[in-house]
Amino acid sequence: MNRFFVTTPIFYVNAKPHLGHAFTTILADAQSRFHTLMGDESYFLTGTDEHGDKIAKASEAAGQSPKEYADQISGLFRDLAPVVGAKPNQFIRTTDPDHIKTVQKVLQKVYESGDIYFGEYGGHYCFGCERFYTEKELVDGMCPDHKTKPEYIAEKNYFFRMSKYQGWLIDHINEHPEFIRPARYRNEVLSLLESGALEDLCISRPKSRLTWGIELPFDPDFVCYVWFDALLNYVSALNYPRGDKFKKFWPAANHIVAKDILKPHAVFWPTMLKAAGLQPYQSLNVHGYWLVRDTKMSKSLGNVVEPKRMVDTYGASAFRYFLLREMAFGSDASFTEEALVGRLNADLANDLGNLFNRALAMTHKYFDGKVPSPAEEFQEDAELKHLGLEAMQGFQENFAEFRTARGLESLWELVRALNKYIDQTAPWTLYKNKQMARLGTVMYVVLEHMRKVAVHLWPVMPEASVKMLEQLGMPFDLDKIVLPKEPEVWGVLESGVAVAATSNLFPRVELPEPTPPAAKEAPALEAKKSKADKAPKEPQAPAGPLENIEFTDFQKLDLRVGTVVSAEKHPDADKLLVVKVALGEAEPRQVVAGLADRFSPEDLVGKQVVVVANLAPRKLRGVQSQGMILVAKDAEVTRLLTAAGAVDDGGKVA
């Protein structure tokens, strides 16, 4: 049995958990569940990082002792996991006595081997990052992350001979492509390592300056640098060196972090492991930032989204789906409640929810609520099965590489194909024509595929997946699911089993009313849930009528009709398509359009569209865009704007 050890960073206890922490926890949980379904033995670790300057200062400001303060905030992080439907196997705290002993053991070992020495150092110290910066690393004299001026500190300290392992680390990264992923971060680390001599790492703080830390076993006047202490949590949690867990799960470690802490994980940690005589971890998986209006979400910037409020409003399953679907692995993503509501309505209420609602209702209407027996398979059934097989394989391959957005995109090809299959096979007509054998096959094909979709969704939406399976008359049983075989398995759903009459797992949601600015502390308004058939309009931004414009203003717009000659996914942005439109010019125009969540490239090719042809060119995520494709939309649908009949390419809209 393969072993899969997955970790989140251990979070600092200087602030309450926010959406950024929730996301890494959800991603780790989804990976842990995915590997469990794939038949691996999985172990999921999270926890809190409690020593160092940052915590000492925060506790002082709160008028508490560091330990009291850490106890309180650590509790909030411990409570975060169940709120977002995550089930870690272990929650570690760096103030746990066992962890402290392990850190001291490793320090002693590395000291005795000669890789820790005493020396003097002067450097630019950022208290936010708890690390020294070299002149070269600062941006206009400021910390690149906190945008604050670091303090120059010169003092005697202990150093870890990190420089000694530079060559080994470069070779290791080159020989193991999965060691740091996605590739852009691997390249970033390689270019950092290859750009010059790696410096040794200062791993102590004099007690005269800081007492809140783990005492060095070989010098009681110093405490351990917080990163050297924190990184060791990944092995102390497994009871290194002799614990059974350690023997089982090391080096099968798959760390998940955001790009803010790439260097400590990609450079400090593997060299520390090497110096301590331990094998390197298996993979470091680096995701981007959740941004709010183009800025990283962080407590110090005061722009945090509270995960609890999102879960209370939309439910844990839907919230998890949005985050895992929206963020392309390695890239930043913007969090807006509008985007969340849009995606929940499009993917969950319209696609998945609708599929469940109609299929269950039809099973009741045509087969008394029992799974029918399939008869002869038609060409269209085989085609759907083939598409489903590829969609599920796509899900599994992408998920295994942490590309959850692409994995879900692949699975949704099946969800959408199922709705199309229902439209095309028209069970209502088969019923009217009394073609019950064919109707039985059609409904069986749909229900069995729904079961497959529900099983695949367990890592992403555990609660909803269990309910979907229950609605299909299948109690959730982990031991019976073998995900790697699932794309090809057929006929698991037993004929004659009763299914639920209704689903209603994913009702349409509405944006909560904006909080009036005066009532800053007013409680968040609940999203109103409404029935799918009486969907209220999504609020259109901006609210209220726009100002009148003069005809001459309108004349400034150069609107043209053109034919889409090609369309493909943007290499670096999930929501964007790169579309080439023939506008009667020498070359087709390249337009980057934010349509990927509503249209697949095939939907666009060959269609005539309306383009704003004189929009100033700009680059969108690195790809040049010269114009904009117009659409018309309401709460339900987005449609391409086009002329009522064929028009020559380049034809003017006036």
User: For binding to ligand MSP (CB under 6 A), which residues are involved?
Assistant: 9-12, 20-21, 23-24, 49, 230-231, 233, 257-258, 260-261, 289-290, 296-298
Specify the residue, 271 or 350, whose C-beta has the smaller distance to ligand MSP: 271
From the list 635, 636, 616, the residue with the least C-alpha distance to 626 is: 616
- Nearer to ligand MSP by C-beta: 27 or 609? 27
Residue 304 beta carbon to ligand MSP: minimum distance, rounded to whole angstroms: 8
Please give the Cα distance from 330 to 509 (Å, whole number). 29
Q: Quick check: is 202 catalytic?
A: no
Is-catalytic flag, 18? yes
Query: Any alpha helices (H) in 195-232, and if so which ranges?
Result: 226-231
Shortest distance, CB of residue 94 to ligand MSP, whole angstroms? 9
Q: To the nearest whole angstrom, how small is the minimum distance from the Cβ of residue 84 to ligand MSP?
A: 13
Q: Do strands 631-633 and 638-640 pair parallel, antiparallel, or not at all (unpaired)?
A: antiparallel
Q: What are phi and psi of 7, to 5 degrees?
A: -130, 150
**Are 639 and 631 in contact, with CB atoms under 8 Å apart?**
yes
**146 catalytic residue (yes or no):** yes
- Smallest distance, Å, CB 137 to ligand MSP? 17
Q: How far is the CB of 289 from ligand MSP (least distance, A)?
A: 4
Cα distances from 79 to residues 73, 91, 302, 320, in angstroms, run 10, 10, 22, 16
73, 182, 353 from 283: Cα distances, Å: 29, 10, 36
C-beta separation of 441 from 381 below 8 A? yes
Angle at 74 between CA 73 and CA 75, to 5 degrees: 85
Q: Please say which residue, 289 or 506, places its beta carbon nearer to ligand MSP.
A: 289
Q: Which residue number, 45 or 576, has a Cβ lying nearer to ligand MSP?
A: 45
- Please state the closest distance from residue 185 (CB atom) to ligand MSP, in A: 12
- What are the DSSP calls for 269-288, one per residue? HHHHHHHTT-PPPSEEEEE-
Catalytic residue, chosen from 99, 255, 296, 456, is 296
167-197 CB burial, b ≥16 within 10 A, e <16: eebeeebeeeeebbbbeebbebbbeebeeee
Choose the catalytic residue: 51, 126, 224, 265. Answer: 126
Of the listed 143, 202, 224, 575, which one is catalytic? 143
Residue 21 is among the residues annotated as catalytic for this protein:
yes
Q: Is the peptide bond before 307 cis (omega within 30 degrees of 0)?
A: no
**DSSP letters spanning 591-612:** EEES-TTT--HHHHTT-EEEEE
CA distances from 493 to 166, 444, 489 (A): 55, 8, 11
Which residue is at the shortest CB distance from ligand MSP? 20
| Closest to ligand MSP by CB, 110 or 258 | 258
Q: Give the nearer residue to ligand MSP in terms of CB position, either 258 or 454.
A: 258
Catalytic-labelled residue, pool 299, 364, 529, 607: 299
In the residue annotation, 224 being an active-site residue is answered as no
Are 321 and 84 contacting, i.e. CB atoms less than 8 angstroms apart?
A: no
What is the smallest separation between the CB atom of 22 and ligand MSP, expressed in angstroms?
9
3-state secondary structure of 244: helix
CB within 8 Å of 235: residues ≥ 6 apart = 102, 246, 250, 278
Q: How many CB atoms lie within 10 A of CB 38?
A: 19
Q: Please, where are the H alpha helices in 478-572?
A: 551-555
Q: Reply yes or no on whether 263 is catalytic.
A: no
Q: How far apart are CB 19 and ligand MSP at their closest, in Å?
A: 7
User: Which of residues 100 and 257 has its CB atom nearest to ligand MSP in the complex?
Assistant: 257
**Residue 354, C-beta contacts closer than 8 angstroms, at least 6 positions apart:** 419, 532
Closer to ligand MSP by Cβ: residue 24 or 313: 24
Q: What is the set of active-site residues?
A: 18, 21, 126, 129, 143, 146, 296, 299
